[in-house]
A and B are shown apart, each in its own frame.
Chain A
Amino acid sequence: MNETVEKLFVSSSSPHVRDTDSINKIMWTVNLALLPALLMAVYFFGTKALWLTLLAVAAAVITEGLIQKITHKPLRLQDGSAVITGILLAFNLPASAPWWMPVVGSVFAVAIVKELFGGLGNNILNPALAARAFLLASWPVQMTASWVAPREGTLSGISAITGATPLSLLKDSAKIIANPQSFDPSQVQQAQEAIANLSSSYTNLLIGNVGGCIGETSVIALLIGALIMFYRHVISWQVPFSYMGTVAVLAWIFGGSEGFFTGNWIFHILSGGLILGAFYMATDMVTSPLNSKGQIIFGVGCGILTVAIRLWGGYPEGVSYSILLMNLAVPLIDRYTVPTVFGEVTKK
């Protein structure tokens, strides 16, 4: 065996093969999964929804590029994570929002929430949700006052409370029924009708023919996207199902106006941003726990907070705040859900 060697081959530490999945594929799969909901939003809320979404995406991508340039970090716009942030932010705005709102929101989401904390993989909060909270706190009127009615009419044809979202309608009606003496009889009657009509509105909730944020209304479109993500192994069942399951159970127990176990849990699942939140935002890998036990705890926590806010809080909707609060708890959850190492039980 002589010692002269002509050509050296590639050397590296094992393993020498890799799965073909990549960050880019994961992120663009999420973008693809968001498309059906965007199409439905354009159908129900008009092209304004599309423009707001495009503005949010453009602002997010440009902000990310600029910051990576300024901080001399490798430019990695191709991964599509800024695009997700843009779309999700726009999805959390009402279609009546002024044009600058998605821009301000996206800049905040990418610059403050994501890049300031170290960029992709290092942010503590979901950027789109944190930006929504920021917008809601700064411009509450534009964010909630005027819900654009979808083009085929408002929910159940109720005129007294125009342009409401299904959840705000429910909450306001419940308030009226609880104190009938302080409202006039016609209002009380309308409120009672509204609640009675809830269950007849499932079809509208499913296709998205209700008031609400741009991307949260069409349950069917969101579920099609969720299936794509499940199929591509981008999300797993733990977070969305523990989240929605908790909401369903708690809403059923506590959500009824006629005592315990009378709540309309189907309505709670289908309305508001729950589907969007449970499948697209609570599942954000960066801001959810590492292993499945932690993910279930995270989902249950989101569910408890959501129902608490919806039933007893000041807002009609609790999805975004509950996810943000649980985002903050992720490091703690991760710390207490370290899996038992193979063979450790037997030793003890």
Chain B
Amino acid sequence: MRIKTFSGGVHPFEGKKYTEKKKTETLPQPKSVAIPLAQHIGAPTSLLVEKGQEIKAGQKIGEANGYISVPVHASIAGKVKSIADIDHPVAGRGRAVIIEAAETECWVETIREQKDYFDLSPDEMRERIREAGIAGMGGATFPTHVKLAPPPDKKIDVAILNGVECEPYLTADHRLMLENPEDILNGFRLIMKILGVKRGIIGIENNKKDAVRVMQGHIKKNDHIEIGIFPVKYPQGAEKQLIKATLNRDVPSGGLPMDIGVVVQNVGTAKAVFDAVAFRRPLTHRVVTVTGPGIKEPKNVLVPIGTSFQEVVDFCGGLTEKAAKIIMGGPMMGIAQPHLNVPVVKGTSGILILEEKQSHLAPEEPCINCGRCVEVCPSHLLPTTLQNLVDYDRIEEAGRLHIMDCIECGSCSFICPANRYLVQSIRHGKRQLIQMRKKAS
């Protein structure tokens, strides 16, 4: 199924060539890992282990706190060396369990093939997903079991599997589709079963024709699953834009996909769902694309969560002389890291290393009102106007111009010929508005 695209968007340099043909390699077991207790959106987990304790791989080390929260598991077997605050790639700082690896690999016994897992009730499946600590692996890390439990008044009729991977450079999802199509599809079948939907669509961008072929080959007749092929454009993988392009349904301003009967899950999440339901395997590893001009041997690597960026980078031949910027994720929405001493977390889809000449943002110049930011904004906002309002502290007015509808995709800043820090100002304005509204209530 060939599909039209959403309105707006940009075409950044794709950069997928570095790693798209490279088979996923498994990182040798690291000597130690630092596993943050908070790796998802929602309440952080509470500690279950203590210093000096011997633990197995897959053992739960942090318990979920409340409904919008998921547990955290050990990714290697070993001894808890310490519990300390460390630099966190998303949160800045965060508490983590630091585990020193044991001589031999040793997994918890509960991980094994489960009988008749497909006949479980949706509630039992959701419980296994939650127990496995799964949070959206496209990068947003929202607890998956919550997304799979829409309130009864929201009738879901379509599930979309997001294999778009529109962020430049990243190929982790692409490789996963090529190497584990059956697991992904099984996960998607489970997701459809949990939601009780009769229609599934897998969204893939047109630059991954091989993935389309492979996935197509594994779809069975009575799956009710079809593949949507999208033109290459950023941010095609953003949830609202993906739904708009696929089904021509608009997620209401301030609403969620479930409001219009849709749930979107990432392909990596689908694989994790399959592992959780069929094997009771917790989320302890993920595929990370290590790429960019600043790394000697770009690779797709299967990494235990908690491994330091340094160790992953070393496995890929180390940094080049010119390496100057470390980004967790892609170049459009990724987070710059001041150093490599941060752990891989559940949302680490990539480690992108840029060179000196790409690393510095040019100084801002005056806006010449060219309107390109308006043209590319997928949320149909007026980025330049919003920036002016935020810069002059007119936050309320920015709110009336729907600043909260910004999905922070960065297309405006990307396209601006005056190098204006549009999304950066808008992000700042959103935080301020949230604070103001909190204070007011």
Q: How far is the CB of B34 from chain A (nearest CB, A)?
A: 5
Other-chain contact of A18, B334, B368, B374, B419 (Cβ < 8 Å): B419
A71 proximal to B (CB < 8 A): no
Task: Check A342–B253 contact: CB distance below 8 A.
Answer: yes
Q: Chain A residues near B86 (CB, 8 Å)? A: 1, 3
Chain A interface SS verdict (over half): loop
Other-chain contact of A19, B10, B368, B385 (Cβ < 8 Å): B10
Asked whether A12 and B336 contact (CB < 8 A) given A17-B12, A17-B414, the answer is yes
The size class of the interface chain A forms with chain B is 35 or more
CA of A285 to CA of B421, assembled, Å: 19
Task: Check B385–A290 contact: CB distance below 8 A.
Answer: yes
Task: Check B369–A10 contact: CB distance below 8 A.
Answer: no
The size class of the interface chain B forms with chain A is 35 or more
A2 proximal to B (CB < 8 A): yes
CA of A9 to CA of B323, assembled, Å: 9
A179 proximal to B (CB < 8 A): no
Chain B interface SS verdict (over half): loop
CA of A18 to CA of B427, assembled, Å: 18
B417 proximal to A (CB < 8 A): yes
- The chain A residue sitting closest to B32, CB to CB, is A1
Q: Chain A residues near B382 (CB, 8 Å)? A: 290-291, 338-339
Task: Check A344–B253 contact: CB distance below 8 A.
Answer: yes
A14 proximal to B (CB < 8 A): yes
Surface stretch bound by B, among A114-122, A141-149, A240-248? A114-122
Other-chain contact of B380, A1, A295, A340 (Cβ < 8 Å): A340
What sequence of 0s and 1s flags, for each residue 284-320 of chain A, a beta carbon within 8 Å of any chain B beta carbon?
0111111110010000000000000000000000000
CA of A292 to CA of B380, assembled, Å: 12
A152 proximal to B (CB < 8 A): no
Residues of chain A from 8 to 46 with CB closer than 8 A to chain B in the complex: 8-19, 21-23, 25-26
B146 proximal to A (CB < 8 A): no
B155 proximal to A (CB < 8 A): no
Asked whether A291 and B381 contact (CB < 8 A) given A338-B401, A342-B405, the answer is no
B324 proximal to A (CB < 8 A): yes
B262 proximal to A (CB < 8 A): no
B361 proximal to A (CB < 8 A): yes
Task: Check B250–A346 contact: CB distance below 8 A.
Answer: yes
Other-chain contact of A1, B12, B341, B365 (Cβ < 8 Å): B341
CA of A16 to CA of B338, assembled, Å: 14
Surface stretch bound by A, among B18-26, B51-59, B189-197, B352-360? B352-360
B339 proximal to A (CB < 8 A): yes
CA of A288 to CA of B370, assembled, Å: 9
CA of A10 to CA of B384, assembled, Å: 26
Asked whether A14 and B335 contact (CB < 8 A) given A1-B86, A122-B366, the answer is yes
Not counting A12-B325, A19-B417, a sample of 17 additional A-B residue pairs whose C-beta atoms are within 8 angstroms of each other reads: A1-B86, A1-B96, A5-B339, A15-B331, A15-B333, A15-B414, A17-B358, A17-B414, A19-B416, A21-B415, A22-B417, A23-B417, A23-B418, A121-B366, A290-B385, A291-B374, A338-B382
Using a CB–CB distance below 8 Å, which chain B residues touch chain A?
10, 12-13, 32, 34, 86, 96, 98, 168, 240, 244, 249-255, 260, 308, 323-327, 331-339, 341, 343, 352, 354, 358-362, 365-371, 374-375, 378-382, 384-385, 401-402, 405, 410, 413-419, 421, 423-424, 427
Q: List 14 A-B contacts (CB under 8 A).
A: A12-B359, A14-B331, A14-B333, A15-B413, A18-B361, A18-B416, A23-B368, A26-B370, A79-B365, A289-B371, A292-B375, A339-B380, A342-B378, A343-B250
